[in-house]
Amino acid sequence: MAVYTDVSFEDLERLLEQYDIGQPLSFKGIAEGIENSNFYLQTDRGAFILTLYEKRVVSEDLPFFLGLMEHLARAGVHCPLPVKTRDGTALVQLNRRNGAIVTFLTGISLRRPDVAHCAAGGAALAGLHKAGEGFALTRANALGPKGWRPLFESIHGADGIEEELTALMRTALDELEAGWPQGLPSGVIHADFFPDNVLFVKEAVGGIIDFYFACNDYYAYDLAVMLNSWCFEIDGSYNITKGQSVINAYKAARPLSDAEIAALPVLMRGSALRFLLTRTYDWLNPDPNALVRPKDPREYSKKLRFHNKVKHAREYGL
Amino acid sequence: MAVYTDVSFEDLERLLEQYDIGQPLSFKGIAEGIENSNFYLQTDRGAFILTLYEKRVVSEDLPFFLGLMEHLARAGVHCPLPVKTRDGTALVQLNRRNGAIVTFLTGISLRRPDVAHCAAGGAALAGLHKAGEGFALTRANALGPKGWRPLFESIHGADGIEEELTALMRTALDELEAGWPQGLPSGVIHADFFPDNVLFVKEAVGGIIDFYFACNDYYAYDLAVMLNSWCFEIDGSYNITKGQSVINAYKAARPLSDAEIAALPVLMRGSALRFLLTRTYDWLNPDPNALVRPKDPREYSKKLRFHNKVKHAREYGL
């Protein structure tokens, strides 16, 4: 959660002159997303989110993110639809930042999704994967396997967070680089499909948000990110009932190949390592301008240690 | 702006069981208010703000604040109305904090109110003063003249912010303690009537918010707080046209006595010193848990130096 860049009403008024979305009725900085500044905007024509992109989001990637949201929304995915200016562009400039206005989605993110939510989320992830087919732009996964070693090497002092954390990461990295699966079905993935980024209205998915890690990679890797973030309990144990719920709902919409099933334990380790690396880095290098507390890396070292003992996808509920 | 205390959807669901305000549709931490954690809550019955009171707000004061908002709202002031639980209380407990749900008000706070906004704001302030009559509870102004010396004495290192800042504050404090006006008309004042706390829908006041400094004190002191925060331009100059606009609109609704007019220059110095002291203290003692950047005290040292040269209320537009 963060509001980095200040936007006055006067800034907003000038911005809205470029759009045809009515007069502002309410405008508030909201604590959402860790990468960008977000504002809730209500006008006489509807509710919107204004996002200003901070340094972590590279300008060159914005056409991919905004184009993807438009592609997915047109294909029926409940995701924010970028609003175009009168000139037909989705990307604008405000206070020396790139920015965009997207439609506001109703719904609430759950801290602890239950089994029914896991099923709805799993189906939504498969729907997103299918809807992404045919999207013309591509983006490499900057936080995929090739990005892990440079990130690992930029981390200094991890053992101050947890004993032997450096060794845990190094061993996983060596093994994953050697044994990463090849040629699995791939396409557009969300890459950050945490419960935070799925809005529920009762037990139905009302919205999928925060596409700023989206990229092209293995679909089953995205499923692993979801299982890692939806199916562990607060005490650190893996809830296989929730895992089954996610996987069965996903499979019903997009069947998993034998190769994807065989790769699942490795993908689970990989996605745990990815979040362990970024959280460890952010923990040791807090952004002094960030209005956000870094997330605890130890949640993911615990998950990685669990996955290190897993032999077969059955143990995740398959 | 701040969100200090985390509230999960599960916390919210438990909280809402106590109320009869429908099912949650949207819930987001908002960057509003520097004293408390605030959340925007939309249900199928309306829009609300959930506030959790952090340490700066003393529990004993909450019945005053919540009772005052209810009193003012019933008297026609556009201010948040505290929502009662099924048990009839406005004050609840959540995550070891006192909290309250109030109605959400439409409107946007302006960074630079123009002359017409100043008139609407001045009239709203007078309306608030008149509507506060008859409110049964009282609260001393903790940040009134008696509070300034202890606050001043707790400040160390002010000259590192600005040359001779300590001397500026000490001289003002000595003079104000000796010459503070006695027996002016008094009652319930807002005490923080900054543009941030007034929501406009076009040129009309749609809401007055943030009553957590409200107290009993001189009405004309409240007017001085408003003039100080609404009528200076970014370059530091006092805009007498805006001053006239505030004062004339205020007077039309609540006439000023000769004593109030005579006291205005002293009250302007006093209210400038009050914000200079708190901003200087906060600048030198930033709260490590605060998701907020301290406001620059030099805005108010500049204003205080201006007021030190003023001889008559005419110079403010009277």
Verify whether the Cβ–Cβ distance B26 to A108 is below 8 Å.
Answer: yes
Locus of tokens 């100059």? B237
Phi and psi dihedrals of A56, rounded to 5? -65, -25
| Predicted TM-score of the model (pTM) | 0.82
Report pLDDT for A272. 98
Chain A residues with CB under 8 Å of B10 CB are 110-112
Choose the closest CB to A10 out of B1, B26, B111.
B111
pLDDT of residue A291: 56
Q: Do A108 and B24 touch (CB under 8 A)?
A: yes
3-state secondary structure of A107: strand
Record: contact B9-A108, CB cut-off 8 A:
yes
Mean pLDDT of chain A: 93
Average pLDDT over residues B99-124: 95
- Best A30, A40, A106 member to test B by mutation, with max B CBs in 10 Å, is A30
Which chain A residues contact residue B112 at CB under 8 A?
8, 10
Q: Which residues of A touch B110 (CB under 8 A)?
A: 8-10
pLDDT at A289: 62
| Single-letter code of the amino acid located at A13 | E
Contacts of A49 in chain B (CB under 8 A): none
Residues of chain B in Cβ contact (below 8 Å) with chain A? 1, 3, 8-10, 12, 23-32, 40, 42, 106-112, 199, 201-202, 291-292
pLDDT of residue B3: 56
Top residue of A15, A52, A103, A291 to mutate, by most chain B CBs within 10 Å, is: A291
Question: pLDDT averaged over chain B?
Answer: 93
pLDDT attached to residue A1: 37
- DSSP letter, residue B230: H
The DSSP string of B184-229 is --EEEE-S---GGGEEEETTEEEEE---TT-EEEEHHHHHHHHHHH
In chain B, the domains with their CATH numbers are: 9-103 (3.30.200.20), 115-316 (3.90.1200.10)
Whether B2 shows a pLDDT value over 60: the answer reads no
* Distance between A274 CA and the closest CA of chain B, angstroms: 25
Instruction: Using CB atoms, pick whichever of B3, B108, B112 lies closest to residue A31.
Output: B3
Partners of A106 on chain B (C-beta within 8 Å) are: 25-26, 42
Q: Kindly tell me the number of DSSP H helices and DSSP E strands found in chain A.
A: 9, 9
ipTM entry: 0.74
Q: Do B108 and A25 touch (CB under 8 A)?
A: yes
Out of A23, A27, A32, whose CB is closest to B28? A32
Compute the nearest-CA separation of B102 from chain A (Å).
Answer: 16
Element holding A72 (H helix, E strand): helix A62-74
- Out of B8, B26, B32, name the one closest to residue A28 (CB): B32
> In angstroms, how far is the first alpha carbon of chain A from the final one?
34
Nearest to A10 among B10, B112, B202 (CB): B112
- DSSP H or E run through A62: helix A62-74
Q: Which residue, among B279, B317, B282, has the nearest Cα to B301 in the 3D structure? A: B279
Distant-in-sequence, close-in-space partners of B10: CB < 8 Å, separation ≥ 6: A110, A111, A112
A258 burial class (0-12, 13-18, 19+ CB within 10 angstroms)?
exposed
Position B50 scores a pLDDT of 96
Q: What pLDDT, on the 0 to 100 scale, is given for residue B8?
A: 87
Q: Decide if B30 and A29 are in contact by the 8 Å CB cutoff.
A: yes
A-to-B residue pairs, Cβ atoms closer than 8 angstroms: 78
- Closest residue on chain A to B114 (Cα): A10
pLDDT given at position B58: 83
Question: What residue of B is the nearest CA neighbor of A203?
Answer: B25
Contacts B40 to A, Cβ<8 Å: 28, 30, 40
User: What is the full DSSP assignment across A113-164?
Assistant: --HHHHHHHHHHHHHHHHHTTT-----B-TTSHHHHHHHHHT---GGGTSTT
Percent of chain B predicted with pLDDT > 90: 86
CA B310 to chain centre: 25
pLDDT in tens, B4-61: 678 888 899 999 999 999 999 999 988 776 678 899 999 999 999 999 998 777 889 9
- Quick check: A108 and B8 CB within 8 A? no
Reduced to 3 states, what is the DSSP secondary structure of residue A100? strand
Amino acid at B198: V
pLDDT of residue B9: 87
Question: Is B249:B119 a contact under the CB 8 Å cutoff?
Answer: yes
- B272 Cβ contact list (under 8 Å, min separation 6): B172, B228, B300, B303, B304, B307
Q: Which residues of chain A have pLDDT under 70?
A: 1-4, 33-34, 288-292
